[in-house]
A and B are shown apart, each in its own frame.
Chain A
Amino acid sequence: MEAAELAETVATAAGLTFFDVVFEMLDAVDVNALAAYGGFPTRYPSWRFGMEYECLARGHEWGLSKIYELVINHDPTIAYLVRSNSFMEQKLVMAHVYGHADFFRNSAWFAPTDRRMIQRFEQHARCIKEHSARLGQDRVEEFLDAALSLDTLIDPYGAQRRMRARQSSGGMPDVAGGHRSGQGALARASRDRLNALQGEEPLPDPPEQQQAVGSPFDVLGYLAEFAEVEAWQRDILRIAAYEAEYFAPQRMTKIINEGWASFWHSRLLTGGLLDASEVIEFADCHAGATASAPGQLNPYKLGIDLFRHAEEQGLDIFRLRAVHNDVSFIDAVVDEAFVRRSKLFAMEPGSGPGRKPVIGSRDADEIKGRLLSSLAWGGLPRIRMESAPAAGSSGALVLRHEHDGRDLKLDEAGVLLRTVGRMWKGPVELLTQEGEEGRRLLCDKGELSLREAS
């Protein structure tokens, strides 16, 4: 694999640092299958992965999408490459992979992530299979789907907060006031049960991720600890919360991570890795990856433009990639010149036939504001617990959606509130707004009601 050695040499010379990178060559179908599993072959069984695969396979079959590589945040970093890539594509993809590998290693957002996730997923899968064998797949899958439908109710900054708290308190986990504090024993018991279940040497305790320190946004984690559910359900809630938190940094760094990898594949290839005879093929391939299709803002394109703009402004791009996520990166780099150069515009709903969206303002502040709000909190609504009753009490669990001008889909929210209610086994409320109007969605004993609220 001379291409890999070559790419590693030039990547290192350019100042990129990474864990060891392991390349695996696979057929396109296997790469699609892996992509459907979120990159990990050891996930629990679920129809959702099958569906994901059908979507990817269809896109592949129809020539709508092509996956060149998959990079896994892990130590060592694992990269899956499609065997049928041409030599040029392979070099491009490898340079791209080293960009990602550097990002995973150096971005502050990935510092608290579990780098032994392959085994952790395997452990989760075994736990879920075990429960399925005992209780029936239908029953376990139904609860798993319910838990997963709540997996946006985590604190995407949770791992960061915990790591910072630990550092400031001198290496000890912060146990002040968090809802999971004092629950260490319970958490440990569940983990021990997981380990005992498979009767083998337990994995070491996870790093920062998933260690105590409660956040009001971590509704799923709260339910995992305090909802009056059966032990197997608690395992599933815990697994859902853990996996959601593992994937959260990836969702929050899509643009900066792809931008960084694209910036480096472009620079490394045009900086010597490319043979003169490959230039046109490279240009074609690169243009394809950074083209923006109607209906989507291409993260590769936006990301690479941001890094190039930042470099021209004299900013330290290595520092930028180390400290920023998408939101803070855009906040730091987007200015009027960038908006003008990238020809960004605000989109407004159209009034013509077909209600096609139309071009609105090209005002830089407006556009930047929209970008920031659409990316903030990983693009998800911010929902926190307003009052979380003590364990065992029958008080209402009150959630508040922090309304920022964008309404929730209330019908779906109602379905989810029912789900939470079934787990909590008590009344559950969601406070939100429709436009300016306050709304209070209540679920009590399976009955939903929507009222006005102040």
Chain B
Amino acid sequence: MGGQIYRMEADRARFKEVVRGRVRRDLTKYMATTELMGRQGGETVSIPVPAVELPRFRFGSNEGGVGQGDGGEGDEVGQKGDGDGQGQGAGEAGELTGEHVLEVEVELEELARMMGEELELPRIQPRGHKTIETNAGRWNGIRNEGPGSLRHFRRTFRRALVRTIASGEFDPADPVVVPIRDDERFRARKPSPRPDSSAVIFHMMDVSGSMGAEQKDIVRIEAFWIDTWLRSQYKSIEVVYIVHDAEAKVVDQDTFFHLRESGGTKISSAYELCLELIKTRYSPENYNIYPFHYSDGDNWSSRDTERCIELIRDELLPRVNQFCYGQVKSAYGSGQFKKELDGPFGADERIVTASVSDRGGIPAAIKRFLGQGR
């Protein structure tokens, strides 16, 4: 029955291509939902897609069905009524067009590629002097000496054949080719230096009282896609989650997405923590550094905002690839902070700010953040 399975593999692969086409087509729609979050299993994401139906001539909704079971008139089907009324079974006996939902596994790398194409993101050029060369060899070289276990049969045979023909010993009626020592060729490891680069992402989020569930969802979605993209650009990547209200602390991923604090907002606390981590653990010599900060734009005081600007200008920007600030619109936020940043840094390429008013604005914000290829 191997034949059938083999056939089925081809059709399944084709179906997955069709689905990937749909995912690609609807990518910006997926980018505005939380659906893909928490569906990560290692290298892949499973994406729920509705079964693809061919259009057909079919009936609309004014078709009456027939059911089966106990119950009085007016009882809900499939539900226990007040008395002993219990209807069971339903539906027309005709063809039911069930809404199947399928899940398709897409590799994170492929998802990143789709996003890159959709948002026209440039590939990131890791900062030159941070690039470490690693010696990742591949077995695609050939040499004249080697152990028998590495003998390249085809190459060896070819040499022998050439020699036999050239020396006039070859007889088409009796095509015997005997390799001699000189004919033997062996596989060899060809060194191919590959840039090895690591990166660290800092996701800093304002969790003060004014950041509601919707605002956090938006942050969450942005963080997911940013991670997906950066992961595809670097061989190894670390992600640090920082939350802050008046104080900042490092948390794990789960806490980052679910924590709800309340209180004042002191943005500089987060930047200081970030800076400290860069100084102690993530040296710019070894890491490409991406701090992302998300808030609704309110800060404790204008003095703290000045402190933030100083920190960014004097401490962070010299050390990082790019500093990103995403301002999520909330019912209470003033949206002032973005303006404060745009003032002094308007022309600086190393800092990118974006405002997101709703989920629909997520792809555009991501494009702003990642569109510079830094």
Contact = CB atoms under 8 A, between A and B. Distances in A.
Interface of A: 26-27, 29-30, 33-34, 36, 41, 45-51, 53-55, 58, 137, 145, 148-149, 152-153, 251, 255, 292-299, 301-302, 326, 342-348, 350, 352, 356-362, 367, 370-371, 374-375, 378-381, 383, 401, 405-410, 412-413, 415-416, 419, 435
Contact of B67 (A45, A153, A357): A357
Contact of A152 (B56, B68, B102): B56
Q: Which of B1, B16, B61, B62 has the most CB of A within 10 A?
A: B1
B149 interface: no
Interface stretch (B72-80, B114-122, B170-178, B358-366): B72-80
B92 A297 contact: yes
Contact of B12 (A54, A295, A367, A413): A54
B73 A294 contact: no
Nearest to B103: A58
B93 A374 contact: yes
15 contacts: A29-B5, A47-B14, A47-B17, A50-B14, A50-B16, A251-B95, A301-B68, A346-B66, A347-B67, A357-B90, A359-B75, A374-B63, A380-B94, A381-B57, A416-B55
B41 interface: no
B64 A346 contact: yes
Contact of B64 (A26, A255, A295, A370): A370
Given A50-B12, A374-B63, 4 more contacts: A153-B57, A344-B68, A405-B62, A406-B62
A379 B97 CA distance: 11
A347 B65 contact: yes
A415 B56 CA distance: 9
B77 A357 contact: yes
Which of B8, B18, B71, B100 counts the most chain A CB atoms within 10 A? B8
A76 to B, nearest CB: 19
Given A26-B1, A33-B5, A409-B60, A375 B77 contact: no
A316 to B, nearest CB: 24
Contact of B66 (A344, A406, A413): A344
A302 B94 CA distance: 13
Given A41-B4, A343-B68, A51 B102 contact: yes
A3 to B, nearest CB: 21
A352 to B, nearest CB: 7
Given A26-B1, A359-B87, A408-B60, A415 B16 contact: no
A359 B77 contact: yes
A42 to B, nearest CB: 9
B104 to A, nearest CB: 8
B8 A36 contact: yes
A45 B14 contact: yes
A43 B73 CA distance: 48
A297 B59 contact: no
Contacts of B40: none
A292 B65 contact: no
A445 B274 CA distance: 62
A251 B95 CA distance: 9
B57 A347 contact: no
B18 A302 contact: no
B331 interface: no
B128 interface: no
B94 A374 contact: yes
B11 A370 contact: no
B17 to A, nearest CB: 7
Interface in B259-312: none
A348 B64 contact: yes
B96 interface: yes
Nearest to A409: B60
B19 to A, nearest CB: 8
A53 B16 CA distance: 12
B58 A412 contact: yes
Interface in B300-352: none
Most-contacted residue by chain A among B3, B62, B90 (CB, 10 A): B90
B59 A296 contact: no
Nearest to B70: A343
Contacts of B58: 152, 380-381, 408-409, 412
A359 B76 CA distance: 6
Contact of A374 (B56, B61, B88, B92): B92
B74 A359 contact: yes
Nearest to B67: A347
B57 A293 contact: no
A152 B54 CA distance: 12
Nearest to A27: B1
Contact of B89 (A49, A294, A383, A410): A294
A358 to B, nearest CB: 5
B90 A152 contact: no
A449 B89 CA distance: 40
A5 B263 CA distance: 80
